[in-house]
Amino acid sequence: MIVRAFRGLRPRRDMIEKVAAKPYDVVTTEEARKEAQKNPYTFYKVTRPEINFDVEVDTHSDEVILKGKEVLEQFQKEGVMILEDKPAIYIYREEWQGYLQTGFYATFSTKEYAEGKIKKHELTRKDKEDERARHVKLMRAHTGPVFLMYRSRPEIDNLIMKHTTKEPEYDYTDDSGIHHTLWVVKDEKEINEIVDAFKDVEAFYIADGHHRAAAAARAAEELAKENPNHTGNEEYNFFLAVLFPHTQLNILDYNRVVKDLNNNTKEEFLKKVSEKFEVEETEKFKPSRKHEFAMYLEGKWYKLTAKAGIFNENDVVSSLDVAILQENLLKPILGIENPRTDKRINFVGGIKGIDELERLVDSGEYKVAFALYPTSIEDLLKVADEGKTMPPKSTWFEPKLKSGIIVHLM
């Protein structure tokens, strides 16, 4: 597999805490605007460029996206962000609530993505792909990294880890309690060691950022067609990502809340659920193993255990808990045919805890909530290796990757 060093654009050491921001898709425009009022250097001004305008604007317009590009250029001009003097690989560590993941920023081949060597486990939406590809082309930059993983190998993991004994460039804890450390590797021999270590690796896997990867590949294809002197070595042929060993990644539960019981009374609903699941009234709890679910309904918690025979144990997708819940409860009983588009269902990342499920149901906004056991990394790898896709909202990775730590300019 191809791993490529590049000249990253990154915040000056004393500006990293001001610039780095959460991914654009986990904050609202309003949240980003509030942050920008306190902090004029937030990267939301680049990734949420509508906040640079006083009034409501079309967030998808060229004018808005180009304003983000202008802010990025201004940050560079003012020395808030600096362009590396030579190609580098950036060793990166995130530490959060006892979890530690150490990988590195580099650029990766859009050609290998198109060939299926960078494997995915989710479907992407064409409209979202179109929007992100246009963003990449207009910005002439990858402003947010894709979250990649490789099957862990001790010799490669140790090669990455040896750089963490050096003096870091960044070392700080953000307001979410995530400790970030970054080391810059510019020595050509050391870079080649890392690049060569991955030459016989067969595949990389997308953990998070499917639309970013698809958009980068789409933009590369379009830019290649527009370039009569295209060689394949241009910056647009490579996208920004952080690559981690799979053994260090942490998937949290991704839970569901539903607005109504689909015209069932509570008694009718519980009776139908008991046809496919063992139902037991219980104290509040989090599922502790596969095929076990927690359900909150009208002030009471229930433990649901999938009955034998309701799914195919030999099929990796249908034996996922998200699929079991969808095919045996959400779809047939609650009438949720397509969880991607049905407005009656919503999804709650496990980082918010099961108290949030209780709160949402008690508020009256939702009628019933379901907590799931997290999907395993091994299941994700198996789904990707078999060329299959997971049901929507199957995985919630935490900690997530921030934007603005490293930018890849094209």
Phi, psi torsion values for 324, nearest 5 degrees = -60, -45
Q: Is the residue at 1 inside a domain? A: no
Is the pTM higher than 0.85?
Answer: yes
What are residue 78's DSSP bridge partners?
none
Query: Are residues 26 and 94 part of one domain?
Result: yes
Tell me how far the alpha carbon of residue 50 is from its chain's centroid: 22
Q: Which domain does 258 fall in, by range?
A: 254-373
The pLDDT assigned to 187 comes to: 96
Q: Is the residue at 144 inside a domain? A: yes
The pLDDT assigned to 59 comes to: 77
Residue 64's closest CA among 78, 49, 51?
A: 49
Domains of the chain: total: 2
Query: Are residues 241 and 138 part of one domain?
Result: yes
Q: Is the residue at 179 inside a domain? A: yes
Query: Are residues 364 and 217 part of one domain?
Result: no
DSSP state, residue 159: H
Query: Are residues 273 and 246 part of one domain?
Result: no
Distances (CA, A) of 190 to 15, 27, 224: 27, 37, 31
Residue 383's closest CA among 295, 301, 308, 316?
A: 316
Q: Walk along the chain (410 residues) and give the pLDDT tens digit of each residue.
A: 999 999 999 999 999 999 999 998 888 889 999 999 999 999 999 999 999 998 778 778 889 999 999 999 999 999 999 999 999 999 999 999 889 999 999 999 999 999 999 999 988 888 888 888 999 999 999 999 999 999 999 999 999 999 999 999 999 999 989 999 999 999 999 999 999 999 999 999 999 999 999 999 999 999 999 999 999 999 999 999 999 999 999 888 899 999 999 999 999 999 999 999 999 999 999 999 999 999 999 999 999 999 999 998 889 999 999 999 999 999 999 999 998 888 999 999 888 888 999 999 999 999 999 999 999 999 999 999 999 998 888 888 888 899 999 999 99
The pLDDT assigned to 264 comes to: 95
Tell me the CATH number at 341.
3.30.1760
Longest dimension (CA), the chain: 69
Query: Are residues 12 and 107 part of one domain?
Result: yes
The pLDDT assigned to 205 comes to: 97
Query: Are residues 310 and 198 part of one domain?
Result: no
* Locus of tokens 């910005």: 139
Query: Are residues 105 and 89 part of one domain?
Result: yes
Query: Are residues 353 and 277 part of one domain?
Result: yes
Q: Is the residue at 350 inside a domain? A: yes
DSSP reduced 3-state for 80: coil
Q: Is the residue at 383 inside a domain? A: no
Query: Are residues 279 and 235 part of one domain?
Result: no
Query: Are residues 26 and 168 part of one domain?
Result: yes
The pLDDT assigned to 11 comes to: 98
The tens digit of pLDDT for each residue in 276-301 reads 999 999 999 999 999 999 999 999 99
Q: Is the residue at 78 inside a domain? A: yes
Q: Is the residue at 390 inside a domain? A: no
DSSP state, residue 345: E
DSSP reduced 3-state for 327: helix
Q: Is the residue at 270 inside a domain? A: yes
Query: Are residues 211 and 283 part of one domain?
Result: no
Let me know the angle formed at the C-alpha of 395 by 171 and 259, rounded to the nearest 5 degrees: 120
The pLDDT assigned to 351 comes to: 83
DSSP character string of 174-242: -TTS-EEEEEEE--HHHHHHHHHHTTT---EEEEE-HHHHHHHHHHHHHHHHH-TT--S-SGGGEEEEE
Query: Are residues 183 and 94 part of one domain?
Result: yes
